[in-house]
Amino acid sequence: MSVFNHQFHGTVLREYDIRGIIGQTLQPEDAFAIGRCFGSIVARGGGTKVAVGYDGRLSSPDLEPQLVAGLRACGLEVLRVGLVATPMLYYAGYKLEADGAVMVTGSHNPPDYNGFKMMLGKKPFFGTQIQEIGRMAAEGDVVPVSTEGSDRQVDVAEDYAARVMQDYDGGDRKLKVVWDPGNGSGCDITKVLAGRLPGEHTVINGDVDGTFPNHHPDPTVAKNLEQLITEVARTGADLGIAFDGDADRIGIVDNEGHVLFGDQLLVILARDVLKSHPGATIIADVKASQVLFDEITKAGGTPLMWKTGHSLIKSKMAETGSPLAGEMSGHIFFADKWYGFDDAPYSAVRLLGIVARMNETVSQVRAALPQVINTPELRFDCAEDRKFAVVTEVKDRLAASGAKVQAVDGVRVLTEDGWWLLRASNTQAVLVARCEASSEAGLERLKAQLVEQLLASGLAAPDFSGANAGH
Q: At what angle do helices 262-276 and 344-357 cross, to 10 degrees?
A: 70
Strand order, beta sheet including 175-180:
199-203, 175-180, 239-243, 250-254, 259-260
In angstroms, rounded to a whole number, what is the distance separating the alpha carbons of residues 11 and 26? Answer: 9
Q: Which runs of consecutive H residues, i.e. helices, occur in 167-255?
A: 187-196, 226-235
Read off φ and ψ for residue 102, nearest 5 degrees.
-130, 130
In angstroms, rounded to a whole number, what is the distance separating the alpha carbons of residues 178 and 234? Answer: 10
Look up 60 and say whether it is catalytic.
Answer: no
In angstroms, rounded to a whole number, what is the distance separating the alpha carbons of residues 286 and 273? Answer: 21
Active-site choice (107, 185, 289, 347): 107
In angstroms, rounded to a whole number, what is the distance separating the alpha carbons of residues 209 and 322? Answer: 36
Displacement of CA 98 from its chain's centroid (Å): 22
In angstroms, rounded to a whole number, what is the distance separating the alpha carbons of residues 309 and 429? Answer: 16
In angstroms, rounded to a whole number, what is the distance separating the alpha carbons of residues 233 and 246? Answer: 26
Residue 289, CA distances (Å) to 258, 389, 432 in order: 17, 26, 15
Instruction: For 261-410, list the strands marked E by DSSP.
Output: 281-285, 302-306, 324-326, 332-334, 373-374, 378-381, 404-406
In angstroms, rounded to a whole number, what is the distance separating the alpha carbons of residues 135 and 152? Answer: 30
In angstroms, rounded to a whole number, what is the distance separating the alpha carbons of residues 110 and 233? Answer: 28
Read off φ and ψ for residue 13, nearest 5 degrees.
-85, 95
Q: Which are the catalytic amino acids?
A: 107
